[in-house]
Amino acid sequence: DQQVKQNSPSLSVQEGRISILNCDYTNSMFDYFLWYKKYPAEGPTFLISISSIKDKNEDGRFTVFLNKSAKHLSLHIVPSQPGDSAVYFCAAGGSNYKLTFGKGTLLTVNP
């Protein structure tokens, strides 16, 4: 049973445009959500997070939105840059819940 789902295995956008990566979860007890970025031959690195008491968290070009009623979160990257090309993983966790990761979305930003 996949509790965290990233339904788009890949996404391609033009440089300068917005990238929107989506993630759905099923466990309503999750109260903390994270996005990780992974380049080839490297381990995933933390990008941005959001607590369930918020619906938005912004850090520079990266914004994460949380819709608890829909059990959906998204990562917006504006403007997208070629260096953003990587695999993005969404993760969810909380008190007494281990971090659970989605399968990832490969983002390609074309110059």
Partner 1 sequence: GAGVSQSPSNKVTEKGKDVELRCDPISGHTALYWYRQRLGQGLEFLIYFQGNSAPDKSGLPSDRFSAERTGESVSTLTIQRTQQEDSAVYLCASTFSFGTGTQAFFGQGTRLTVV
Decide: helix, strand or coil at residue 83: helix
Query: Could you say whether residue 31 binds partner 1 (CB under 8 A)?
Result: yes
Q: Give yes or no for residue 42 binding partner 1 (CB under 8 A).
A: yes
Establish if 85 lies at the interface with partner 1 (CB under 8 A): no
Locate 27 and state its tokens.
């466990």
Residues 66, 85, 102, 107: which binds partner 1 (CB under 8 A)?
102
Integer distance in angstroms from the first to the last C-alpha of the chain? Answer: 38
Q: 33 or 71: whose CB is closer to partner 1?
A: 33
Q: Which stretch binds partner 1 (CB under 8 A): 12-20, 40-48, 58-66, 68-76?
A: 40-48
- Cα dihedral sign for 42, 48, 53, 54? negative
Nearest of 27, 47, 56 to residue 105 by alpha carbon: 47
Contact residues for partner 1, defined by CB under 8 A: 6, 31-32, 34, 36, 41-46, 49, 51-52, 89, 91, 93-104
